[in-house]
Amino acid sequence: MADANLEDLPGVGAKTAEKLKDAGYDTLMSIATMSAADLSEVADLGSKTANKIIIAARKELDLGFQTGSDKLEERKSMAKISLSSENFNDLLDGGVETQSITEFYGEFGSAKTQCALQLAVNCQLPEEDGGLDKGVVFIDTEDTFIPERVEQMAEGAGLDPEEVLDNIFVARAYNSDHQILLAEKAQDIIKKNDIGLIVVDSLTAQFRSDYVGRGQLAERQQKLNKHMHTLQRLANTFNTAVVVTNQVMSNPGQLFGDPTSAIGGHIVGHASAFRIYLRKSKKDKRIARLVDCPYLPEGEAVFRVTENGLEDA
Ligand SMILES: Nc1ncnc2c1ncn2[C@@H]1O[C@H](COP(=O)(O)OP(=O)(O)O)[C@@H](O)[C@H]1O
Ligand SMILES: [Mg+2]
């Protein structure tokens, strides 16, 4: 896709282009897929102008139209991976979807990694048991991919632990640029192997330590945005599920509700079709809440983390 400059869009002057780039919207695609409300907020524009710019970006990219039946065909190839808990699966109307990014966020110990590992195991189950019968690419940024834990979960799921580990391609990311590169390189592995799931655990930890001061926030968001686009493209192109985990930071400005919000703000939130907020409950219980899903009701599910993996509470 030829990337024309943002400045070529009618209504986008050098100043606006700069603001957009600072906020991480540096490609026509990122503009074309924004909402007018977001664009007018980010670039300080009237909603009419924002709308005009978005339409121009779409035209430039020739995004074109799909018929309803094309769309249906695309959705038909969409599949779901079970989370091993009926409650949790019900919350997500069956499980974690392919062709989309699903974000698990929560504080330390809330079971983000346990969910990611469980999905890496369950992706390998036969379809009738809630799997895709496919392998996994796992980008590990915190060194928390523990093979022994995967073996336990594989046994819990009735799979051969050795085979399960053989079908997970793990890469340790040492910094955020390395992480971005690994996601771009994942394409080669996905092409050669039958991959149904890509995990990035944690999506934001490396970015958080690589871009500290406030002055680096814009650059961090820009890189994160690009990274999310890479992941979404892989999800669409190869019909894979993408699962990312994200930490929360305390937000003292928020007086009501849960005073925590996910790292990466709008960039990560908008790129994820499904956002699941995990929090601790008594003992091994965890509560998952589906947040801001465009077509599923908000709700909560209680599950447990046991030696076998996730289970209903
Ligand atoms: N083998 C196991 N058996 C039972 N529970 C486990 C096991 N391994 C991890 N856990 C549970 O998972 C929790 C850690 O969750 P984790 O996914 O690492 O959190 P996060 O990634 O959100 O920081 C532990 O506190 C423990 O309760
Ligand atoms: Mg973790």
Which atom of ligand 1 lies nearest, measured to the CA of 116?
Answer: 17
Which atom of ligand 1 lies nearest, measured to the CA of 306?
Answer: 4
Q: Is the pLDDT of residue 167 over 90?
A: yes
Ligand minimally distant from the alpha carbon of residue 204: 2
* Phi, psi of 86, rounded to the nearest 5 degrees: -60, -45
Ligand 2 geometric centre to CA of 144 (Å): 6
Class of domain 6-61: mainly alpha
The region that residue 11 occupies, defined by phi over 0 for left and psi between -120 and 50 for alpha, beta otherwise, is left
Q: Indicate if ligand 1 lies below 6 Å from the C-beta of 113.
A: yes
Q: Is the pLDDT of residue 107 over 60?
A: yes
The CA dihedral of 250, 254, 257, 259, to the nearest 10 degrees, is 10
Ligand minimally distant from the alpha carbon of residue 143: 2
Ligand 2 geometric centre to CA of 11 (Å): 44
* Phi, psi of 23, rounded to the nearest 5 degrees: -85, 5
Ligand 1 geometric centre to CA of 307 (Å): 9
* Phi, psi of 273, rounded to the nearest 5 degrees: -75, -35
Q: How far apart are the C-alpha atoms of 209 and 219, rounded to whole Å?
A: 13
Percentage, residues of the chain above pLDDT 70: 93
The region that residue 210 occupies, defined by phi over 0 for left and psi between -120 and 50 for alpha, beta otherwise, is alpha
Ligand minimally distant from the alpha carbon of residue 155: 1
> Is this structure's pTM higher than 0.85?
no
Question: What CATH code is assigned to 72-312?
Answer: 3.40.50.300
Which atom of ligand 1 lies nearest, measured to the CA of 107?
Answer: 22
The pLDDT mean for the chain works out to: 89
Which atom of ligand 1 lies nearest, measured to the CA of 284?
Answer: 27
Domain segments of the chain: what residues?
6-61, 72-312
Q: Indicate if ligand 1 lies below 6 Å from the C-beta of 108.
A: yes
pLDDT class of 250 with cuts at 50, 70, 90:
low
Q: Which residue's CA is minimally distant from atom 2 of ligand 1?
A: 307
The confidence score (pLDDT) of residue 2 equals 43
The confidence score (pLDDT) of residue 200 equals 98
